[in-house]
Amino acid sequence: MRNQTVVDLRIDAEWIVPVEPSGKVLEHHSLIVGEGRIQDILPSHDADIRYLFRERVRLPGHALMPGLVNLHTHAAMALLRGFADDQPLMTWLNDHIWPAEGRWMSPEFVMDGSRLACIEMLRGGVTCFNDMYFFPDATIEAALEAKMRVASGIIVIDHPSAWAADPDGYLLKGMEVRDAYRHQPLVSFCLAPHAPYSCGDKTLEKVQTYAAQLDLPIHMHVHETHDEIRQSLETYKARPLERLHRLGLLGPQFVGVHAVHLNDEEIALLSEQGCHIAHCPSSNLKLANGVAPKTRLLDAGVNIGVGTDGAASNNRLDVFEETRLAALLAKGMSGRADAVPAHAALAMATLNGAKALGLDSQIGSLLPGKQADIVAVDLSGAAMQPCYDPISQLVYSAGREQVRHVWVAGEMVVKDGRCLSIDEALLVRHARQWRERIVAG
């Protein structure tokens, strides 16, 4: 009798796209999962010899890829989807979003909004999201209920809210949340000062101290609009990134969100400091803020991941869409058809985001030893034919509607396009009730 290893799960797929090494595609291979991690990836005929399995999933016509990483979002703002469209950023914030949040912000709002976001993201192949919002404990609970990963932002802002009254309060409450959830395997943390225009120097100095002491990433909006830069020059006599550098915030722990308006010196600075960028193309376009200089950043060696921003400024938490748009904008803006090729775009949506969060040893690619965060994409339909290159198909042709199955830490959380962990019908009812309350004022 052959000496075979017993494992939890075997997935047979027509293609496996591991992301590492770049551009590699494995045809007619099997992925082996045990104790929530990838144990092996090998030709299917070899898997017949080496492994016995408790469960087997056969996926002809499918590509397996790593779970997508949404590098920037405000999950709870799913309840404000479409609430204040077609407004410039500061009008959108000052006249619509912040007043609505002031009226309705609560743990219940954040929980229901985050649940709504989680089901949308999971069904779209997102297995990890980097969040920035009030009542982060409610978002964490929603993510754990959904059985997906969350990098929870310890939000800090100079303005009072229902969550905290001042920067010290934000930091204190955020640290209490971190202490409560730090041992949860699906939860990690970032410090999340909102933006240079909403955080004074003293606040940012405290953020830097916490980041250094606790070895946490810093997740922050930066250089999103021309107006932000103008205000910084008037108030601080420096552009935002120059000010952040002076305060010691820039470094390998820094994740700058948007980074639309950068000069050559700032791109060089981001590269020299080893910073990361969360690129949110749809939000930047919808708010008429512009297009981030991706090719210049990439040419300088800056790591770029993909984010959706919140559903209030994008309307879709669709990382497939953002990835395709990121690649196309890079080509169109640079005049280079080879700018951000398909394999690089897929890395931006997976491994690069994991790297920005310090999670690339655990997620972001399909390698033995990593967490089994896996997405199965159906490439068998007419709209996906013919398939010459599965990586090209995943970036330029497929969308979230082709996502059939999703596993997080080896557990199936989406099956045949249906989320197994959240009651969608109940969630829709709650969302409609929130709409009625918000419209009624």
The pLDDT of residue 401 is above 60 = yes
Report the C-alpha gap between 318 and 126 in whole angstroms. 8
The pLDDT of residue 2 is above 70 = no
Which is nearest to 195 in space by CA: 163, 237, 243? 243
Report the C-alpha gap between 116 and 240 in whole angstroms. 33
Q: How many residues does the chain have?
A: 441
What's the confidence (pLDDT) of residue 88?
Answer: 86
Question: What would the mean pLDDT of 260-271 be, rounded to a whole number?
Answer: 98
* Distance linking the first and last C-alpha atoms of the chain: 72
Beta bridge partners of 257: 221, 278
**Residues 26-67 pLDDT 10s:** 999 999 999 999 999 999 999 999 999 999 999 999 999 999
Give residue 3's pLDDT band: very low, low, confident or very high (50, 70, 90): confident
Question: What would the mean pLDDT of 4-10 be, rounded to a whole number?
Answer: 96
Which is nearest to 30 in space by CA: 19, 9, 48, 44? 44
Report the C-alpha gap between 312 and 406 in whole angstroms. 26
Report the C-alpha gap between 273 and 268 in whole angstroms. 9
Report the C-alpha gap between 417 and 406 in whole angstroms. 9
Which is nearest to 74 in space by CA: 124, 133, 140? 133
Query: Which residue is it, tokens 């770049």?
Result: 22
Q: Which stretches within 61-196 are classed as H helix?
A: 89-91, 98-104, 107-123, 136-146, 167-181
DSSP 203: H
Token pair, residue 441, equals 């004022």
What's the confidence (pLDDT) of residue 441?
Answer: 78
Question: What would the mean pLDDT of 331-344 be, rounded to a whole number?
Answer: 97
Question: What would the mean pLDDT of 353-371 be, rounded to a whole number?
Answer: 98
Backbone dihedral angles phi then psi of residue 165, each to the nearest 5 degrees: -95, -25
Question: What would the mean pLDDT of 229-238 be, rounded to a whole number?
Answer: 97
The pLDDT of residue 140 is above 80 = yes
CB 144, CB 184: distance < 8 Å:
yes
Q: Whole-model pTM? A: 0.97
The pLDDT of residue 90 is above 50 = yes
Which has the higher per-residue pLDDT, 2 or 13?
Answer: 13
What's the confidence (pLDDT) of residue 398?
Answer: 98
The pLDDT of residue 137 is above 50 = yes
What's the confidence (pLDDT) of residue 1?
Answer: 43
Report the C-alpha gap between 44 and 261 in whole angstroms. 49
Which has the higher per-residue pLDDT, 98 or 305?
Answer: 305
Q: How many CA atoms lie within 13 A of 241 on its CB side?
A: 28
> Which domains occur in the chain, in start order?
5-66+372-409 (2.30.40.10), 68-356 (3.20.20.140)
Percent of the chain with pLDDT over 70: 100
Amino acid sitting at position 47 = A
Percent of the chain with pLDDT over 90: 96
The pLDDT of residue 426 is above 80 = yes
Residues with Cβ within 8 Å of 297's Cβ and at least 6 positions away in sequence, in order, are 259, 262, 267, 270, 271, 277, 304
**Residues 176-228 pLDDT 10s:** 999 999 999 999 999 999 999 999 999 999 999 999 999 999 999 999 999 99
Q: How many CB atoms lie within 10 A of CB 186?
A: 19
Helix or strand (DSSP H, E) at 329? helix 319-334
What's the confidence (pLDDT) of residue 92?
Answer: 87
Which is nearest to 70 in space by CA: 124, 12, 20, 126? 126
> How high is the mean pLDDT of the chain?
97
Query: Which residue is it, tokens 């008429």?
Result: 288
Question: What would the mean pLDDT of 349-367 be, rounded to a whole number?
Answer: 98
Question: What would the mean pLDDT of 322-328 be, rounded to a whole number?
Answer: 98
How many helices and strands, by DSSP H and E, does the chain display? Answer: 17, 16
**Residues 113-129 pLDDT 10s:** 999 999 999 999 999 99
What's the confidence (pLDDT) of residue 437?
Answer: 93
